[in-house]
Amino acid sequence: MKALIFDLKRYAVHDGPGIRLNVFFKGCPLHCLWCHNPEGVAFEPELMLMPNRCARCGDCVRACRYGALNQDSEGQVEADRSRCTLCGDCLEACQREAIAIVGREMTVEEIAAEAEKERVFFEQSGGGVTLTGGEPLAQPALAEALMDGLRRRGIQVALDTSGYAPREIFLRLAEKADLILFDLKLMDEKKHQKYTGVSNRPILENLKALETVGRPVWVRFPLIPGVNADDQNLEAMAEFLSGLKMVQQLSVLPYHKGGVEKFRRLGRQAEFAVFEPPSPEQVEKVIGFFRKKGFQVKRGG
């Protein structure tokens, strides 16, 4: 059994307590226009070009048997992804790691072996592994096997999820996590549909259902001006969350343009949008708003 993983990140310090290993599952049922990990959206491996590392030597173009790569007049490499078979020949040819295939199949054992390398840091810091993505619950069998495998090894597990998953799967996996990082984006269903491609009803219902699970929950709120920074949304969120006892902490994550460069590298600019990051004052205001409502609020993850 294998999962499609797009990155393993060591010394992750913003996604749960302590020093962590982030396991990024590839594929997400949501399609948020502001996504800062756009390489985690599609459920299959993708070709990614890193022009900042490219020597413009053309080795990759020559190595491609399918005519999927070519250079423009300035030597910049372009990809015709419809022709690409993800054979990896161009990766071999490139000596600068300017081309990558994001997403590779990994077994539980392979991922656990990476986690073992970080054990001394987990144990010292109270950290562990965070399953994130994309959406880990979109590959439930592997996510569950991984959580079981890590727990057997005595490694703490956090689940970072959009909450968008069938109830039964959601609850079963939530129960196996030591901590749930729950991304809450928008309270208005129509807006949620517009910006993420799905309704928020199952998300909100799942969050509520966590009450029965008895695991601590940290809610994470990406703050995006023009989308969810308005009073109406904030009030609705506060009201919804204030009834939930298992929510220990609310993290306000100011939107940033970190994903924009990645859209380009994936050749998927058209599918996403660019927003303006909130001003520091605006972030402070929102944090203040939630603090006043009695929440434990943190800036950033």
Partner 1 sequence: MKERIKKLREQSVNTRPSISPERARIVTEAYRNPEVQRVSIPVQRALVFKALMEQKAVFIDEGELIVGERGPDHKATPTYPEVCCHSLEDLETLNSRPKTSYAVDEETLRLYHDEIIPFWRGRSMRERIFAEMTPEWKAAYQAGVFTEFMEQRAPGHTVLGDKIYQRGLLDIIKDIEESQARLDFFNDPEALDKQQELKAMAICARALITYAHRQAELARQMAAVEKDPQRKRELKKIAAVCDWVPARAPRDFWEALQYYWFVHVGVTTEYNTWDSFNPGRLDQHLYPFYKKGLEEGTLDPERAKELLQVLWVKFNNQPAPPKVGVTAEESGTYTDFALINIGGLRPDGRDGVNELSFLILDVIEEMRLLQPSSMVQVSAKNPDSLLLRALKIVRTGFGQPSIFNTDAIVQELVRQGKSLEDARKGGSSGCVEAGAFGAEAYILTGYFNIPKVFEITLNNGLDPRTGKKIGLETGDPRNFQTFDELLRAFEKQMRYFIDIKIRGNNVIEKLYADYLPAPFLSLFIDDCVLKGKDYHGGGARYNTRYIQGVGLGSITDILASVKYNVYDRKTVTRDELLRALSQNFQGYERLRDRFINKTPKYGNDDDYADDLARLVFEMYFGLVDGRPTVCGGTYRVNLLPTTVHVYFGRVTGATPDGRLAHEPLSEGISPVQGMDRKGPTAVIKSAGKIDHIKTGGTLLNQKFTPQLLAEEEGLVKLKDLIRAYFKLMGHHIQFNVVTAETLREAQKHPEKYRDLIVRVAGYSDYFVDCARELQDEIIRRTEHQGF
| Amino acid (one-letter) located at 150 | L
Question: What are the start-end ranges of the E strands in 50-164?
Answer: 69-71, 77-79, 99-102, 104-107, 128-133, 156-161
- 281: which residues sit within 8 A by CB, 6+ positions away? none
Task: Give me the least distance between CB of 260 and partner 1, in Å please.
Answer: 6
With CB under 8 A as the contact rule, the residue among 39, 118, 160, 178 that binds partner 1 is 118
- For position 75 contacting partner 1 by CB under 8 A, the verdict is no
Q: What is the Rg, in whole angstroms, of the alpha carbon atoms belonging to the chain?
A: 20
* 215 sits near partner 1 (criterion: CB under 8 A): no
Q: Is 141 in the site for partner 1 (CB under 8 A)?
A: no
C-alpha distances out from residue 258 to 36, 51, 117, 171, Å = 6, 16, 28, 32
**Closer CB to partner 1, residue 186 or residue 252?**
252
Does 121 bind partner 1 (CB under 8 A)? Our answer is yes
Q: Does 113 bind partner 1 (CB under 8 A)?
A: no
User: CA 293, CA 242: separation in Å to the nearest integer?
Assistant: 8
13-32 residues in contact with partner 1 (CB under 8 A) are: 13-15, 18-19
C-beta of residue 139 within 8 angstroms of C-beta of residue 27: yes
Q: Which helix (H) or strand (E) holds 91?
A: helix 89-93
- Binding to partner 1 by residue 254, rule CB under 8 A? yes
The piece of 79-87, 186-194, 234-242, 256-264 that touches partner 1 (CB under 8 A) is 256-264
CB of 14 to partner 1, least distance (A): 5
Which residues make up the interface to partner 1 (CB under 8 A)?
9-15, 18-19, 36, 50, 52-53, 55, 57, 59, 95-97, 117-118, 120-121, 123-125, 127, 220, 251, 253-258, 260-261, 300-301
